[in-house]
Structure 1
Amino acid sequence: MMTTNLTSLLNQYRTEKRCLAGFNINDIYDLHAVALAANELDLPFMAMTYPPVAELNGTYLCRKMVDGFEKIANNKIYLHLDHSTSVDLCKQAIDDGYDSVMIDGSHHDLKTNIQMTREVVDYARSAGVTVEAEIGKIMGRDVVVQSEDDYLASVADVIALCEEAGPNIVAVGIGTAHGFTPTTPKIHFERLQAIANAVPNPLVLHGGTGIADEDIQKAITMGIAKINIGTIVHTTYMREAHTRINKDVQSAYPPFIMKEVIPEVQAVVLDRLKAVNPHL
């Protein structure tokens, strides 16, 4: 029987070599699409709000939006704050009932990263909120790397972060990149295995849009218990909405447009869920 407590679930998933899929959502329409896809496979999922979404709509409204969709979901929807570089935003999300928050101190030195993570962990403990930290770097967006040392997570640094800050789960830099990439990212499985051997924490794989299915599945057998998927969702959403709006801008009406867009996003999400859950 699966637990609904997120930290316990992710620990269980690591033991069982399973993985929770997290999808970055922006509004009710892409969340609706993800919920429908998860229902098709009878799976829980994580609805992740990137800081611009959480800041624009407010973490309280994001919480209420997910609460509403849990009425149609067959399984638990876990609400997560993704890639927050702000301790204060993490605290606000915790206060407003998020199930988990990510404090991303990976752009700072190790000491500062540990301090930021520890502060969020201490704040989250009494609320029972799961905390994700990051060590190493996820390439793409505005991350510039000169060599492997710039982005690969050091095993010693992972150990220090886990032991001194106490996050529940850890995102590790092992060669993945956010968004679409010109070539398939090279995942450093040797580094992933060394990290998995060094710490018991469930590990997180970021950059799920561009990773080959077989690499996702191999990573899950090596300690990855959560995967983040975002770009493929919002680009499908925007492209399909743009196509339909452009057919007749003057008559475009959101409910009619989105009724056609939701199935397109749902299909993409279903494909990613199957990649993460090949046993289904």
Structure 2
Amino acid sequence: MQKKDLIELVKTYRNEQKCLIGFNINDIYDLKAIALAADEALSPVMAMTYPPVVELNSSFLCKKMVEGIQANTKQPIYLHLDHSTSITMCKQAIDDGYDSVMIDGSQRSLKENIAMTKEVVKYAESAGVMVEAEIGKIMGRDVVVKSDKDFLASVNDVKAIVEEAQPHILAVGIGTAHGFTPKAPKIHFDRLAEIADAVAVPLVLHGGTGIPDEDIQKSIQMGVAKLNVGTMIHTTYMKSLYNEMRKDIDSAYPPYLLKTVIPEIKDVALNRLNAVNKQYSLA
């Protein structure tokens, strides 16, 4: 199994209108499910660890988990630190062998965001680690949105962070939201088009759980080269595990339960992998 340079891979994906999916994982079991889905879809994937996972396990242990799974997997698995607001955590992940880190300064001023991103990019350079930044806001969780101006990425801000900090990929706020939403998110494709025309850097779309397949593919054709999927994975994991446990809680035994749960997580991951491989017309 030949693992391509990640920075070059996402550049190629933007040019060829392809997309790498990053799946948020929490332990070795959902990681195994993602690996099984990747092999079935014949697609490389990204395993993403959210800061609470890193705080609980350490970036060192997360790296070892991926190495252990990768040894028995045909498709490449790239390890990514997702939505870290800590420069220190990003640096530690880089030291521990992560392929990619996200420094999320989207809740700070543009000046602070640029400074944070620039510091992480400089630190990652010698290790060849990809750095993701964010402009605008991804709705959901604790993000308060009062108007479009609160979350829509400014084209001028996008140009500024790309020119001054030089992140390898850039997440942009265009209307998507983390988690399940009552209705499909309204994606501002007009703003995505403006951003894609303004910068050549591969773009990232967060909130992949609730985005319709057609909108995913349209985004890919407009410059998105990485899609984040999280809630769909951990919700399937928790609900499936709960349903199995409640059948006979006194006799519940983890290996037997997880043999049933892992295929269910794999199926929802495969659903998203198939979504990025579908073909739709922009017309």
Unaligned runs of 5+ in 1: none
Equivalent residue for 1:94?
94
Q: Is the 8 A contact 1:43 1:74 kept in 2?
A: no
Aligned equivalent of 2:148: 148
> 1:226, 1:265 → 2: CA distance?
20
Distance 2:29 2:239 in 1: 14
Alpha-carbon distance in structure 2 between the residues aligned to 1:151 and 1:265: 31
| Paired AA for residue 134 in structure 1 | E
Question: Which letter does structure 1 place at the counterpart of 2:213?
Answer: D
Measured against aligned partners, the alpha-carbon deviations of 1:229-249 in whole angstroms (never above 9, x if no partner) come to 000010000000001111111
For 2:239, the equivalent position in structure 1 comes to 239
In structure 2, what is the equivalent of residue 42 of structure 1? Answer: 42
Trace 1:1-280 onto structure 2 (pairs within 5 A). Answer: 4-278=4-278
Give 3-state SS (helix, strand or coil) of 1:257's partner. helix
Counterparts of 1:41 and 1:23 in 2: how far apart (Å)?
A: 14
One-letter amino acid of the counterpart of residue 29, structure 1: Y
Measured against aligned partners, the alpha-carbon deviations of 1:148-184 in whole angstroms (never above 9, x if no partner) come to 0000000000000000011000000000000000111
User: CA, structure 1 residues 50+71, in 2 after alignment: closer, same or farther (shift >3 Å)?
Assistant: same
Contact 1:51/1:83 (<8 A) preserved? yes
Distance 2:269 2:75 in 1: 16
Q: Is the 8 A contact 2:3 2:76 kept in 1?
A: no
Deviation at 1:10, TM superposition (A): 0.1
Paired amino acid for 2:70: E
Give 3-state SS (helix, strand or coil) of 1:47's partner. strand
* Structure 2: 5+ residue stretches without partners: none
Q: Report the Cα offset of residue 276 of structure 1.
A: 1.1
How far is the alpha carbon of 1:277 from its aligned partner?
A: 1.3
**Structure 1 residues 199 and 94, CA gap change in structure 2 (3 angstroms):** same
Question: What one-letter code is carried by the residue in structure 1 that aligns with 2:257?
Answer: I
- CA distance in 2 between counterparts of 1:3 and 1:251 reads 42
In the TM superposition, residue 115 of structure 1 has moved relative to its aligned partner by 0.4
1:71 offset after TM fit, Å? 1.2
In the alignment, the residues of structure 1 paired with residue 188 and residue 72 of structure 2 have an alpha-carbon distance, to the nearest angstrom, of 39
72-81 or 212-221: which moved more?
72-81
Partner Cα separation in structure 1 for residue 211 and residue 235 of structure 2: 16
CA distance in 2, matches of 1:265, 1:48: 15
SS in 1 for 2:246: helix
**Shift of residue 114, structure 1, vs aligned partner:** 0.3
Alignment partners' CA distance in 1, 2:127 and 2:115: 20
CA contact (8 A) 2:17 2:225 kept: yes
TM-score normalised per structure 1? 0.98
Return the alpha-carbon distance in structure 1 between the equivalents of residues 107 and 183 of structure 2. Answer: 24
The Cα shift of 1:3 comes to 6.7
For residue 73 of structure 1, report the CA deviation from its aligned partner.
1.4
Measure, in 2, the Cα distance between the counterparts of 1:75 and 1:275.
Answer: 18
After TM superposition, the score normalised by the length of structure 2 is 0.97
> Which string of whole-angstrom CA distances, capped at 9 and with x for unpartnered residues, describes residues 170-218 of structure 1?
0000000000001110000010010000000000000000001000000
Q: Which runs of 4+ in 1 moved over 2 A?
A: none
Distance 2:242 2:82 in 1: 26
Q: Secondary structure at the match of 1:247?
A: coil
Q: Contact 2:23–2:46 at 8 Å: present in 1 too?
A: yes
Q: Does the Cα contact within 8 Å between 1:135 and 1:170 map onto a contact in 2?
A: yes
Q: Give distance in 1, aligned partners of 2:55 and 2:100.
A: 16
